[in-house]
Amino acid sequence: MNTDIETIRKAARDWYDGTSTEEQETMLRDFFLSCREDEIPSDLESLSCMMRGFHAAAGERLPETFVRPVSLRTRLWIPLLAASAAACAAIVLLANRTVYGYDYDGRRITCEAEAMESVHYLECLSLLDENISLVDEIFK
């Protein structure tokens, strides 16, 4: 062992206290990874176990082809949610349209100009009715 065991113990105390430097942590990691388990003093075995575990965990990686499977329930809810949102948007957009009346086919009139045209036609028809009444009176 190149490192003095007392230096390792001091670095371990600093590490447990949370005051260790990066150099001390590197020294601890290198020391514990280079030693055999039977060479480590008993008071440093727990730290050795942690350092070896940290080293092993750092090397773990997810496979590159990892794809989280999507459940059938999720596949069914997404289109249903999208359709519901579209229906709500359509209701909100169409509910604010003012209906001015209905044309002769029973369709709603939502344009103010069209509604005024139909009023104009009705006025013209009422004038025709008055003219017909006058003609009827003349012929009587």
pLDDT in tens, 110-136: 777 877 776 676 677 677 666 666 666
**Residue 2 pLDDT > 60, yes or no?**
no
- The answer to whether residues 52 and 93 belong to one domain is no
- The answer to whether residues 52 and 91 belong to one domain is no
Number of domains in the chain: 2
pLDDT class of 74 with cuts at 50, 70, 90 = confident
Is there a contact between 31 and 39 (Cβ–Cβ < 8 Å)? no
Domain membership flag for residue 80: no
Domain membership flag for residue 91: yes
- The answer to whether residues 53 and 95 belong to one domain is no
- Give Cα 136 distance to the centre of its chain: 75
The parent domain of residue 110 ranges over 87-139
Domain membership flag for residue 25: yes
Domain membership flag for residue 44: yes
pLDDT in tens, 11-35: 999 988 989 899 998 898 888 888 8
What global pTM score does this model have? 0.42
